[in-house]
Amino acid sequence: MTKRNDMFSNDSGQPRVSSPGDGRWLFFTKFLKRGKVIASFAPSSRFMVRTLLKGIDFEKCRCIVELGAGTGPITQELIRRASPTCRLVIVEIDPDLAAHLRRRFPGVDVVEADAADLDHILDERGIDRVDHILSGLPLPSIPEEVRERILDVAARRLIEGGSFRQLTVMPLVYYRLYRRYFQAVRFKFVPLNLPPGGVYVCQEFHGPTGRRATPRRRRWGFWRWQRFPRHGVDRADT
């Protein structure tokens, strides 16, 4: 377990006690305590989840990895849609949230770990390649070298035609960040989420380029989508 995980344990080293229900309250209290790591005050809506998974051919998938699963709105839908032969690997750094996921989805491979250890996690399971990586990680706030490691591993492990899909609650603001790593980036806006957000669908990793990671005029981020006509914005099918 990495050092960063220690922050999430109580004094006795045990995960803190979870809350009942679908984990909304747990998620919210986590957000109050560690806003930067949790990055959103509510779990993803079903519209966000639907948009994230849109276009995935679940019949063909052999392995899907979810990074930063939180209370499991995406996990739940993955379990529902994935074929029995598809391996699901669910990674969550927070021990309370990981414990919640294990209780909520018994039998599912929930790994309490830092997504930065993805190589190790996959090696341990004898997994070589992955069809899709779905990320709820607060990537923009993760230190650059760690972020690069995560994206580098993701790119190396994806099958040809696979995708790295990233949730966001700051629509388009970090478009350039993902374009630094991937040749093809599409953004799908999801208005019906709290707060409104979207999904980046990234393919064709080309490694980090020297381009700026964040827009020069952040405050105009949302309205400047017209500057990316080649890739465009899909309104989510919600």
Residues that bind ligand SAM (CB under 6 A): 37-40, 43-44, 67-70, 73-74, 91-94, 97, 114-116, 136-138, 167
CB atoms within 10 A of CB 14: 11
Residue 158 CA to residue 142 CA, distance in Å, equals 21
In this complex, which beta carbon is closest to ligand SAM, that of residue 74 or of residue 122? 74
In this complex, which beta carbon is closest to ligand SAM, that of residue 49 or of residue 63? 49
What is the three-class DSSP state of 146?
helix
In this complex, which beta carbon is closest to ligand SAM, that of residue 8 or of residue 175? 8
- Least distance CB 230 / ligand SAM (angstroms): 28
In this complex, which beta carbon is closest to ligand SAM, that of residue 38 or of residue 172? 38
- Least distance CB 38 / ligand SAM (angstroms): 5
Say how far residue 169 (Cα) sits from the centre of its chain.
Answer: 12
In this complex, which beta carbon is closest to ligand SAM, that of residue 17 or of residue 226? 17
The two tokens of residue 149 are: 């490691």
Strand partners, 40: none
- Least distance CB 66 / ligand SAM (angstroms): 7
Query: How many residues does the structure list for the chain?
Result: 238
Q: What phi and psi values does residue 133 have, to the nearest 5 degrees? A: -120, 120
- Least distance CB 26 / ligand SAM (angstroms): 10
Residue 188 CA to residue 181 CA, distance in Å, equals 18
- Least distance CB 137 / ligand SAM (angstroms): 5
90: left (phi over 0), alpha (psi -120 to 50) or beta: beta
